[in-house]
Amino acid sequence: MPVDWWAIVFNPSFPYRLTHMVIAAYLTTAFVVGGVGAYHLLRRTSPSRAGTMFSMAMWMAAIVAPIQIVVGDVHGLNTLEHQPAKVMAMEGHFDSHPEGAPLILFGLPNQAEKRVDYAIQIPKLSSLILKHDLNAPLAGLDTIDDDKEPPVAVVFWSFRVMVALGFAMLGVGLFSLWCRWRGTLFENRLLHRVALAMAPAGFVAVLAGWITTEVGRQPYTIYGHLLTADSISPIAAPAVAASLIAFIIVYFVVFGAGTFYILRLMARLPRDPMPDLDDGPIRTSGITPTAQTEGGRDGL
């Protein structure tokens, strides 16, 4: 059993995973804000304030999305070094490739037969991405014991969902730059519709990324040290079922109410945090006008 818990928390993947997650949080927020701004621009409600929201969100997408792709690539190289089986599952590499591994774009992982059915692939591109060399050898899951392999299909597809959404975010950012250069950022309704459709993309990408991370580490809780089967608490099944049902009910109510509130909030018109001084002086506690002061003002 491991005894140094600091080493477990601050493991070699910690700085890469932290950076990747923080950037993902910024992108997720940017696309929600951009989606709300696009929604109001499409409805032509409060265009100046909605335009400010939309412009700031698109700047974030254009600048941060490419940074996230670079950080994700570096994080992948770190994962290959310390958790190679996870990368094998992500890439769908059941077999080792001594003279360059292909990049499998799509296919149906068949873990029982140790192959990817109907694979659409680009020769040697995976070696170029992971080793920066077209002919670099890459080990496959054939070098891993069957009982130590992660569930390949789940990891394979969740990784592709995350990557696809990441490049879609980059595409929206580049599209916004083109519209900004043309002076049509606030008028291009296609961009607004795309941004609105992409509003939840960050949440989906984050969930897909965490599925890749957590399922890809299986069958280990602590990779190479502690099996998930050995880290299960000795609690009776009825107690586990009761707590799970309680969690489901509480989360359903809390997240349901929160989602309803956020959707209602998004539908409201954007407004400034401070009142408009053109409407008159700000009335605060202790400065409420009286008949005498109003009369005195009239006298002046």
φ and ψ of 278, to 5 deg: -70, -20
pLDDT at 145: 86
- Token look-up 């409407």 returns 279
Looking at residue 79, its pLDDT comes to 92
pTM of the model: 0.80
Q: What SS3 class is residue 280?
A: coil
Name residue 21's amino acid. M
Cα–Cα dist 80/285, whole Å: 62
Report the pLDDT value the prediction gives residue 196, as an integer from 0 to 100. Answer: 93
Question: CA-CA distance, 175 to 190, in Å (whole number)?
Answer: 10
CB-CB contact of 85 with 141 (8 Å): yes
Render 47-115 in DSSP notation, one character per residue.
Answer: HHHHHHHHHHHHHHHHHHHHHHHHHHHHHHHHHHHH-HHHHHHHHT--S-BTT---EEEEEEEETTTTE
Radius of gyration (Cα) for the chain, nearest Å?
Answer: 26
Strands 115-122 and 103-110: antiparallel
At 124, is the secondary structure helix, strand, or coil? Answer: coil
Average pLDDT, the chain: 85
Q: Where are the domains of the chain?
A: 5-96+150-230, 238-269, 273-300
Compute the distance between CA of residue 132 and CA of residue 283 in angstroms, rounded to an integer: 65
Q: What is the DSSP letter of 85?
A: H
* Helices 152-182 & 14-43 angle (0-180, nearest 10): 50
What confidence score (pLDDT) does residue 298 get?
45
What pLDDT sits at residue 296? 47
List pLDDT tens digits, range 228-240.
888 877 787 788 8
288 to each of 68, 275, 280, 295, how far by Cα in Å?
A: 53, 17, 13, 14
Using a 10 angstrom Cβ sphere, with 0-12 exposed, 13-18 middle and 19 or more buried, the burial of residue 21 is middle
Under a CB-based contact definition with an 8 Å cutoff, are residues 120 and 105 in contact?
yes
pLDDT at 167 over 70: yes
Q: Which helix (H) or strand (E) holds 110?
A: strand 103-110
- What is the distance between the alpha carbons of residues 31 and 199, in angstroms, rounded to a whole number? 5
Which of 49-53, 214-218, 281-285 is the least confident region?
281-285
Spatial contact of 103 and 126, defined as CB atoms under 8 Å apart: yes
Chain segment 68-117, per-residue pLDDT in tens? 999 999 999 999 989 999 999 999 999 999 888 899 999 999 988 888 99
- Whether the pLDDT of residue 282 is over 70: the answer is no
CA dist 231 and 2 (Å) reads: 12
Residue 226 CA to residue 224 CA, distance in Å, equals 6
Q: Are 23 and 64 in contact (CB under 8 A)?
A: yes
pLDDT tens string 43-72: 887 667 888 889 999 999 999 999 999 999
Instruction: Average the pLDDT over each of 38-47, 133-142, 197-206 and give the range with the smallest value.
Output: 38-47
What does the block give as tokens for 189? Answer: 């309704």
For residues 17 and 172, give the distance between their C-alpha atoms in angstroms, rounded to a whole number: 24
